[in-house]
Structure 1
Amino acid sequence: MGDPLRDDSWPVGKGVTLIVLQNPLRTRVHATGEEAFIVPPHWHAFHGEHHIVLKGRICLTQDGVSRILRPEDGVCVTPAGVVHSIETFAGEETILEETTVPSGETKVIFFRNLFYPSVTRSFLRTMQVFYYGDAYPELPLRSRWLEWLMVVVVGGWVAGLLGYQIPDKRLRLDQRRFPPSKKD
């Protein structure tokens, strides 16, 4: 358990493990409750997500509306374009699964890149992973076009011009967003 590019399970925080599951392909977050696991507000232009709590509870916020989800609540759908965030509760063990709509391995490869050592410690590297992984952080002004522009300029152009490369190049294979070129 440890290398996001090779293993199907790796730590992503204190007492938090991300696990890749198959059939169907999905990610599982297992938080022991040592501390809260927080996914900051963000949105996706090209995919939606399905979240299901298997154990414990989470606070899911969608477009500013927060609610507590438990296992008995079943699947919660977050459509493309909806700003959302997730938070577990310190002191409570939580198991949460996520699948994407449309399905595919892009989200798993996104997580493999994002949690590769040192990526989240670099703003440029994080924005580059966001660019290729269809993720846009919500900014204080809450302007979608500005959020999109920041990710495209910083992650898509500046990071590349400065020589940054994503660890797992398969993230660039989403042909809806990045048609193949002769140099790829």
Structure 2
Amino acid sequence: MGDPLRDDSYLIGKGLTMSVLQNPLRTHLEVTGEEVFIAPPHWHLYHEEELTVVKGRVKLTQDGITRILTPADGAVSVPPGVVHNLESFPGEELSLDEIAKPSGETTEQKIIFFRNMFAPGVLQNLFSTMQVFYFGDGYPVFPLGVRRIEWAFVVVVGGWLAPLLGYQLPDKRLRLDLNRFPPSKKD
């Protein structure tokens, strides 16, 4: 796995490309319309996401309320703790930027998160996926919607079981939750 700040784009699906852009540092999603991009319902405990549609439109659902975002909406914030998901439209092009806040370091970590999540085989394995969520401040949404259960699932499966079973992050620099993993922590 290369350095996410030097390898500036990679394919994540048919007609789906994730890139790293500078000034400001951000992740950039390009969708050609061949395949629909879906980010399933999830939430973050410590970081905020700022989404900007550059071209096209995307469906954003936040805490059960769905909006269609276009470039006219400008930057839209997804605060910590808010359940959200994204979905592109079949057959439509989309260009979308994401900045993670509160800092540039948070955005750098988010870039490493995406590189880990889209590394070969990660999404095909629950333990690998939950390990990336554990280190990347991401929590899936379960039918009951009890955040403590969702949080505990990620900690147990991604933080405890995955390492016991020999799973390792493709890029071990991922430490998005700086409260759990201070910058001085080493593997």
TM-score, scaled relative to structure 1 = 0.93
Superposition map of 1:81-120 within 5 A: 81-103=81-103, 104=105, 105-120=108-123
Q: Does residue 126 in structure 1 map to residue 125 in structure 2?
A: no
Q: Answer whether contact 2:38 2:86 (CA < 8 A) is retained.
A: yes
Aligned residue for 1:171, secondary structure, equals coil
**Root-mean-square deviation over aligned CA pairs:** 1.7
Q: For residues 39-58 of structure 1, what are the structure 2 equivalents within 5 Å? A: 39-58=39-58
Distance in 2, Cα, partners of 1:174 & 1:128: 13
Q: Give the aligned length.
A: 182
Structure 2 unmatched runs, 5+: none
* Residue aligning to 1:140: 143
2: CA distance, partners of 1:173 / 1:96: 21
Q: Within 1, Cα distance between the matches of 2:174 and 2:3? A: 13
SS at match of 2:179: coil
* Equivalence for 1:167: 170
Tell me which of 153, 156, 164 is aligned to 1:153. 156
- Normalization by structure 2: what TM-score? 0.92
Q: Is the 8 A contact 1:119 1:126 kept in 2?
A: yes
**Which amino acid counterpart does residue 117 of structure 1 have in structure 2?**
P
- Alpha-carbon spacing, 1:42–1:4, altered in 2? closer, same or farther (3 Å): farther
For 1:169, the aligned partner's letter is K
Counterpart mapping for 1:8-23 below 5 A: 8-23=8-23
CA contact (8 A) 2:137 2:177 kept: no
Q: Distance in 1 between matches of 2:91 and 2:41?
A: 22
| CA deviation after TM superposition for structure 1 residue 173, in Å | 7.0
Identity of aligned residues (%): 60
1:109 and 1:85 map into 2 onto residues whose CA distance is: 20
